[in-house]
A = this chain, B = another copy of it.
Amino acid sequence: MQRDKRLVGVMNDRNRPQVEDAEDAYEHLFSAIVDQRLLPGTKLTEMALVEAFGVGRRTVATALQRLTWEKLVVFFPKRGAFVAAPDAEEARQVFAARIAVEAGTTEAVARAADPAAIAQLQENIDQENRLREQGHIREAIHLSGGFHVLMAELSGNRILAEQVRLLVARTSLIVNLFDNQAGLAGWHDHHDDLIRHCANGDVAAAVSLMRDHIIELQDSLILDRRRPVAFDMLGVFGKPEFPL
């Protein structure tokens, strides 16, 4: 799948991430945010990232601007950038948007009912189940989000796929910011039923199930109770204290 770009723990010159252009920096920050290595509220100082990535201020600023546009980062002029901490209202809008957009992607996939596409989705589910059995819950959840992104990509529309990718990323911020009351047990069953409907070309059933699936995810959260946001800059990227 995609190359692993995580920055675990403290970094030095040896395991410094290979960042050459703005897109590299963007991908590092993106995965760091969705993987919870950068917690909501964390300040993203420009100079710190410049030294961590070894690129210029302009490159870092470009990546930060893009994340700001994508609502994963909030930016205050002349103050700085912070990892976003969506509130309840924003969470509701994200779920509502997901319902609308993913209804479209689901409809497209179900209407096509392409066996090759179904196989890819099935492969995704199998891998997720494997990871879950092995106790890798975090990776399984990550792949669970990937299921929705994969479905969007298989719909054939890059615009919608990009939208879903961003909405899923914001969802991962949300599910980690709000307490969840129910377990996430029934998810993979939903996904299973979903591709079955898609394989049968049952458009209405697939769309309806996707809708219920997202609603259930939303209802599993207690949107009135948000975890306190941490404002400490822990050295996920490794401070360049270490001499060159």
Contact = CB atoms under 8 A, between A and B. Distances in A.
B62 A93 contact: no
A118 interface: no
Contacts of A101: 100-101, 104
The oligomer's copy count stands at 2
Interface residues on A, range: 20 to 34
Nearest to A66: B69
Interface in A145-174: 157-160, 163, 167
A94 interface: yes
A158 B87 CA distance: 14
B157 A100 contact: yes
Given A21-B77, A65-B65, A66-B69, A100 B104 contact: yes
Interface string A65-76: 110010000000
Interface in A182-241: none
A175 interface: no
Contacts of A158: 93
A105 interface: yes
A99 to B, nearest CB: 7
A61 B101 CA distance: 31
Contact of A157 (B61, B96, B104, B105): B96
A130 interface: no
A211 to B, nearest CB: 11
